[in-house]
Amino acid sequence: MSKFLPLSQAVGENLGNGDVVAFEGFTHLIPHAAAHEAIRQGFKDLTLLRMTPDIIYDQMIGMGMAKKVIFSYAGNPGVGLLRRMRDAIENAYPRGIETVEHSHSAMAQAYEAGASGLPLALFRGYKGADLPKVNPDIRFIACPYTGEQLAAVPAHRPDVTFIHAQKANQKGDVLIEGIIGVQKEAALAAGRVVVTVEEVVPSFRGLHPNLCILPHWTIDAIAVVPGGAHPSYTHGYYERDNAAYLEWDRISADRDLFAGWIRENVLGKTPDAFADRVKGLRQ
Amino acid sequence: MSKFLPLSQAVGENLGNGDVVAFEGFTHLIPHAAAHEAIRQGFKDLTLLRMTPDIIYDQMIGMGMAKKVIFSYAGNPGVGLLRRMRDAIENAYPRGIETVEHSHSAMAQAYEAGASGLPLALFRGYKGADLPKVNPDIRFIACPYTGEQLAAVPAHRPDVTFIHAQKANQKGDVLIEGIIGVQKEAALAAGRVVVTVEEVVPSFRGLHPNLCILPHWTIDAIAVVPGGAHPSYTHGYYERDNAAYLEWDRISADRDLFAGWIRENVLGKTPDAFADRVKGLRQ
Amino acid sequence: MTDFTPNEMMTIAAARQLSNDDVCFVGIGAPSAACNVARLTHAPDITLIYESGTIGTAPDVLPLSIGDGELCETALATVSVPEMFRYWLMGGRISIGFLGAAQLDRFGNINTTVIGDYHHPKVRLPGGGGAPEIATSCGEIYITLKQAQRAMVERIDFYTSFGHGDGGDHRQRLGLTTRGPTLLITDLAIWRPDSESKEFVVRSLHRGVTRDMVQDTCGWTVRFSDDLEETPPPTAEELGTLRDLQARTAAAHAGARRAA
Amino acid sequence: MTDFTPNEMMTIAAARQLSNDDVCFVGIGAPSAACNVARLTHAPDITLIYESGTIGTAPDVLPLSIGDGELCETALATVSVPEMFRYWLMGGRISIGFLGAAQLDRFGNINTTVIGDYHHPKVRLPGGGGAPEIATSCGEIYITLKQAQRAMVERIDFYTSFGHGDGGDHRQRLGLTTRGPTLLITDLAIWRPDSESKEFVVRSLHRGVTRDMVQDTCGWTVRFSDDLEETPPPTAEELGTLRDLQARTAAAHAGARRAA
């Protein structure tokens, strides 16, 4: 059942050292504020699960919080590589990380399988690709009707999923709109769900019946954090801060610059900082 | 690519004797007008595919058009049994039909598998139930990760799917809203798709981005048939004609009454009749 | 409140078993009435889900079909039918699933498929619909049934949905982790499974019902609880709520009939 | 029109290959520019799909990321990412998929995963994203690439996505029914696979490009078509459309930067 909590408490009560955790968002609605709160609370030995680990996972990996990353595309979207993640993989700095790599399709369907109470996802995929050679989680099963070899991956069942959304109503139901990504599946596949939202509205009455909604009884905690997706964006609220993504390439290229940036912009800040960051980006 | 056609032509060009055909709709948006057109054109040896074969399949079976029905719930929703279908199964009148029976979950996922380019659907189902004993299409596969026995059914790939929807725009994109059922999956799983709509609007600009839409390039023909779902309903246009469902129980109970009803209300009518039928039900 | 029908008692007894925290997969008929009476009385925050994809509905009148427009118009959200079965039913999100039965045995196994042989049936019934997976995916199953010898039978003709099978730990042996049928509410009594054998045992008789009446309308030898109770009769509020709901429903459906 | 860059020629040559009936799975960068130039010139009804779930987009400026708001705002519909991959990509609805490459071999096999050994990489690249299934599910694959010795290699370090494998009927032997890479457009030339061997063969050189320039920037021994052509240079309309698009894009992104 949804509880409205301050972000620090929502994160503290639902994330633990060693957890498998997904901070999901597909370019849109990336839960930056929740990730920064996790960095401030200094969790350890996390398994980070996400289709597109981008800046927030680069930051968490750079802080040495991750032991493992399960992913399908590790890039700074539209900019280039993830330099803290590369440093961890190539140089074990600040610690080595294990990687489990999939295709987007496999990751999306592994979340969907988790949401569907299935132990695996089965699909027509990975033919001729090398990932099955380096990821033993990828298997093949013969279709009992056609004999075709189909790819299988284990379902994702994260201990906890964090997402950002536009609105909660007063009951704690949550509305996601625009590029909805894989957030509904990531939430329904998880043991616990924490949502940051831009605002709380009295009710969703009068909205179109087929919108993407998570009922309050699927959510553990909601924190109201205006701007909480910055430098990602929130459809209907504020635009993507493309400059910040470009700047991350420079910051993340240098270990000391990175550490200083985290001190100044994460450790030394509170969730309130996000509202200021999107002021110039509101539509 | 969508072509706007008169219903008679849309049906005539896309349905053929011996086809596997789905007329889908889950209580809402049942394509009665398209089914009546198929009855008028007198197709034979059809395999009728549908989660909830209700009045329209009762009518087509009663006319001897079906050789096989694949389904999960054969009832007159909220009323009782399907008496023409029973007569075919129990008494081979007017001809015997083969039945292939599934659960709702299996049927829905078989459509989804068809839409996803998969040869089968895999799910946690049918445990302890007798359907796997009488439906050899139902198989079990061991999960390669957990060893759990999971149920499998072949994907649905109908030759043609008929659905009814609220609106097309001038390009031939189609909008479905309200209880959306399994129509998107049934359409995307099919070789050909025919849609009847209440009306054509200039464009969908300004509608919410996450609505259920079939792009024009997934549809073969669109026929504008106001009231085309009657006695089912169209959300936002007219209500369900519950009395007609109750009356069907009486009509379908008697072979001659049935034949007379079809002569008068189907064979002797055109698609235009549907607009009149919903006049008193408009909201 | 003394003047009530057995069907009213059945519906209200079922409604009492539901709470605000429940997420119910609702069927048409008595379950729908029971769930909505609960919502309109002691459980205003209960979540009702119909397999048409409507989540969190609050209909003003009872639907005639599982997909009436009223369900969608009052729902928090309406999802596709594949999503309903995948994410919500099989995803394990439903706490209570309701099932009815054409035939029921003492272990809560249900037949709604055929009377007689499957391939040469005496009566071809509608079939299972969602029942095979409702029976295994919901946290627990409540069954509502009007008692009759032909409905409550020693051996059902077809296992449309699995209850406790042959009883005992049969569910666990199949790998099922949900509880299966935990409650049977008839027009005469409230039954719950024995904790070991899983056979339904009568725990409570509705007012005015005798043991003989229960046995006479049941095809197996009935077990009665040692501490058999009387079901508290409907309160004025419960009965008033149910009758108002049914009156609104009758008026609404008659309205549609006149319009046709 | 004589004054154009190799990148402009590459983008415009790719745009020309697209038609109104195509449904394109678009990647960021050159493919996105090419698809939108096609849409703004000869193929106004082309359907552009980005893997963020946006179907039928018509962005006024090029997105910086695959999920920019502009894509959703101008789309016919935006679906979830699982649906995008299931119903639209793997469901076989895409006629043309675009792929880029960090490493490419002569058979259209692509590496965007690692340089060096997978477990001890010299360079850890972003990985495949959607590529493994794009390569096998789309009707055909168009590859865009800026030529360089380190990019066009004899043997790629990792098969991120499968092209024609070892050539010949390798795709058929894997049970693939789609056509795979049918076009390679570089900043210097247009390549198409040999109908038998499936090795890429240069069919057309962009204006001012020599055979030596192509060979010097390619790590394998290049085959040139017997009837080698010159790629028609960009028309004024094509170049104007591309440059306007890029100017609008630069202004829009600079605007966001100022605002930050």
Is ipTM > 0.90 here?
Answer: yes
Do B61 and B169 belong to one domain? yes
Residues in chain A with CB shorter than 8 Å from the CB of D130 are 72-73, 103-105
Say whether residue D41 is in contact with chain B using an 8 A CB cutoff: no
Distance in angstroms (rounded) separating the CA atoms of residues D29 and A274: 30
Do B197 and B223 belong to one domain? yes
**D84 or A243: which leads in pLDDT:** D84
Residue A77 has pLDDT above 90, yes or no: no
Say whether residue D91 is in contact with chain B using an 8 A CB cutoff: yes
CA distances from residue C27 to A179, A225, B234, C70, C134 in whole angstroms, order as listed: 34, 40, 22, 15, 11
Q: pLDDT band for position D65 (50/70/90)?
A: confident
Residue A234 has pLDDT above 90, yes or no: yes
- What's the mean pLDDT in D29-39? 93
- What's the mean pLDDT in B120-143? 97
Distance in angstroms (rounded) separating the CA atoms of residues B130 and B150: 15
Chains within contact range of chain A (3+ C-beta pairs < 8 Å): B, C, D
Say whether residue D173 is in contact with chain A using an 8 A CB cutoff: no
Chains within contact range of chain B (3+ C-beta pairs < 8 Å): A, C, D
D203 close to D221: Cβ distance less than 8 angstroms = no
Over the range C213-239, which residues count as b (16 or more CB within 10 Å of their CB) and which as e?
Answer: bbeebbbbebeeeeeeeebebbeeebb
Say whether residue B118 is in contact with chain A using an 8 A CB cutoff: yes
Chains within contact range of chain C (3+ C-beta pairs < 8 Å): A, B
Final residue in a domain of this structure, among A154, A180, A215: A154
Q: What is the pLDDT of residue C80?
A: 98
Report if residue A112 sits inside a domain.
yes
DSSP count for chain D of H helices, then E strands = 8, 14
- Count the domains in chain A: 2
Report if residue B283 sits inside a domain.
no
Distance in angstroms (rounded) separating the CA atoms of residues C82 and A116: 10
Report if residue A283 sits inside a domain.
no
Selecting from B115, B118, B209 the residue whose C-beta is nearest the C-beta of D75 gives: B209
Selecting from C52, C127, C159 the residue whose C-beta is nearest the C-beta of B72 gives: C127
Report if residue B143 sits inside a domain.
yes
Selecting from D56, D86, D137 the residue whose C-beta is nearest the C-beta of B215 gives: D56
Instruction: Note if C51 is an active site residue.
Output: yes
Say whether residue B148 is in contact with chain A using an 8 A CB cutoff: yes
Per-domain residue ranges of chain D:
6-250
Question: Cβ B139–A145 below 8 Å, yes or no?
Answer: yes
Q: pLDDT band for position D259 (50/70/90)?
A: very low
Rounded to a whole number of angstroms, the distance from the CA of A115 to the nearest CA of chain C is 5
Question: Cβ A119–B145 below 8 Å, yes or no?
Answer: yes
Report if residue A276 sits inside a domain.
no
Residue D2 has pLDDT above 90, yes or no: no
Q: What is the CATH number of the domain that holds A171?
A: 3.40.1080.10
Identify from C54, C76, C79, C177 which residue to disrupt to test chain A contact, counting A C-beta atoms within 10 A and taking the largest count: C76
pLDDT digits (tens, 9 = 90+) for C21-54: 999 999 888 899 999 999 999 999 999 999 999 9
Distance in angstroms (rounded) separating the CA atoms of residues D243 and A211: 38
pLDDT digits (tens, 9 = 90+) for C210-228: 999 999 999 999 999 999 9
Closest-CA residue in chain C for A218?
C93
Residues in chain D with CB shorter than 8 Å from the CB of B173 are 56, 76
Do A124 and A251 belong to one domain? no
Do B56 and B182 belong to one domain? yes
Q: How many CB atoms lie within 10 A of CB C65?
A: 25
Rounded to a whole number of angstroms, the distance from the CA of C90 to the nearest CA of chain A is 6
* Closest listed residue to residue B271, CA positions, set B172, B162, B183, B179: B162
Do A18 and A128 belong to one domain? no
Report if residue A281 sits inside a domain.
no
Q: How many CB atoms lie within 10 A of CB C191?
A: 27
- SS3 annotation, chain B: CCEECCHHHHHHHHCCCCCEEEECCCCECCCHHHHHHHHHHCCCCEEEECCCCCHHHHHHHHCCCEEEEEECCCEECCCEECHHHHHHHHHCCCCCCEEEECCHHHHHHHHHHHHCCCCEEEECCCCCCCHHHHCCCCEEEECCCCCCEEEEEECCCCCEEEEEEEEEECCCCEEECCCCCCHHHHHHCCCEEEEEEEEEECCCCCCCCCCEEECHHHCCEEEECCCCCCCCEECCCECCCHHHHHHHHHHCCCHHHHHHHHHHHHHCCCCCHHHHHCHHHEC
Residues in chain B with CB shorter than 8 Å from the CB of D23 are 217
Do B69 and B164 belong to one domain? yes
Q: What is the pLDDT of residue C255?
A: 55
Do B249 and B186 belong to one domain? yes
Do A53 and A9 belong to one domain? yes
Distance in angstroms (rounded) separating the CA atoms of residues B178 and D121: 51
Report if residue B182 sits inside a domain.
yes
Say whether residue A175 is in contact with chain B using an 8 A CB cutoff: no
DSSP 8-state code for residue A233: B
- What's the mean pLDDT in D216-227? 98
Closest-CA residue in chain B for A136?
B145
Selecting from A120, A148, A212 the residue whose C-beta is nearest the C-beta of B145 gives: A120
Percentages helix, strand, coil for chain D (3-state, rounded to 5) are 30, 25, 45
The superfamily (CATH) of domain D6-250 is Glutaconate Coenzyme A-transferase (3.40.1080.10)
**D64 or D231: which leads in pLDDT:** D231
Residues in chain B with CB shorter than 8 Å from the CB of A212 are 210
Distance in angstroms (rounded) separating the CA atoms of residues B83 and B59: 10
Distance in angstroms (rounded) separating the CA atoms of residues A155 and A116: 9
Active site residues of D: 51
Instruction: Print the domain residue range for A139.
Output: 105-154
Report if residue B255 sits inside a domain.
yes
Rounded to a whole number of angstroms, the distance from the CA of B185 to the nearest CA of chain D is 8
Could you tell me the pTM of the whole model? 0.97
* Closest listed residue to residue B151, CA positions, set A118, C169, A151: A118
Do B92 and B109 belong to one domain? no
Residues in chain A with CB shorter than 8 Å from the CB of D121 are 89-90
pLDDT digits (tens, 9 = 90+) for D86-107: 999 999 999 999 999 999 999 9
What token pair was written down for A220?
């553990």
Do B123 and B259 belong to one domain? no
What token pair was written down for D65?
């990321």
Identify from A24, A27, A235 which residue to disrupt to test chain D contact, counting D C-beta atoms within 10 A and taking the largest count: A27
Amino acid at A197: V
Do A14 and A67 belong to one domain? yes
Do B114 and B92 belong to one domain? no
Chain C segment 212-231 residues within 8 A of A by beta carbon are none
From C51, C70, C199, C238, the catalytic residue: C51
DSSP per-residue letters across A90-157: HH--SS--EEEE--HHHHHHHHHHHHTT-SEEEES--TT-SHHHH-TT-EEEE-TTT--EEEEEEPP-
Mean pLDDT check: name the lowest of A69-83, B26-40, D45-59, D204-218.
A69-83
Selecting from C68, C123, C159 the residue whose C-beta is nearest the C-beta of B240 gives: C68
DSSP 8-state code for residue D34: H
Radius of gyration (Cα) for chain C, nearest Å? 18
